[in-house]
Amino acid sequence: MTVLLVRHASTAWSGARYSGTGDPPLDERGRRQLPQIAADVRQALGGHIGAAVVCSPSLRARETADAIAAALGAGAPRADPDWREADFGEVEGLTWDELEARFPEIAARILDRAGVDWPGGEPHAAFAARVQRAWSRTVAAAPAVPIVIVAHTGSLRLAASLAGTSIDALAPGEVVRVALDPGEDGRS
């Protein structure tokens, strides 16, 4: 089974500010990225006909998933709220420098690649459990076709770990392919 993990296209906050529950739309660069992202997904699928497209309900993920589904001739993407990004709480909208100045202990945990309990936001254990549910549900729902998951760096990084793969931060529009053995659901 093939699963493609796709980060949404660029927004004005991509790479600049923490955007979890905020929902900035794609910026001009992001809209220009859509045809290339769709082409990258088609290439990663190697001409396989048919795929299930699942996405975070955020506007940026839905717009990206819509472009991919259209290019694949797939039906409308299925939005799953468990694929949304972590709720960053008080960190929402901050730049890295602002986060580092206000929350040095959080910055240190991020640099150590440790799970973060976001101040005023989502605890890491709750976020990980949510992504685990999304992963299990998504993989079980489409056992016979490739799956394309369009979401956010945090949720996709956790999904990759469930598939036995380690990834760092994803650039907007980046596509990562993970393969599961038949019957494997990615549970640890």
Residue numbers annotated as active site: 8, 85
Tokens describing residue 43: 């290439």
Surface-to-core class of residue 8, CB atoms within 10 Å of its CB (0-12 exposed, 13-18 middle, 19+ buried): buried
Which tokens in the block code for residue 156? Answer: 């996709």
> How far apart are alpha carbons 41 and 31 in whole angstroms?
16
Contact in structure between 140 and 167 (CB atoms under 8 Å): no
| Distance from C-alpha of 138 to C-alpha of 124, rounded to nearest angstrom | 21
Dist CA 183 CA 11 (whole Å): 36
Query: 15: burial class by Cβ within 10 Å (0-12, 13-18, 19+)?
Result: exposed
Round to whole Å and give the CA distance between 112 and 96.
15
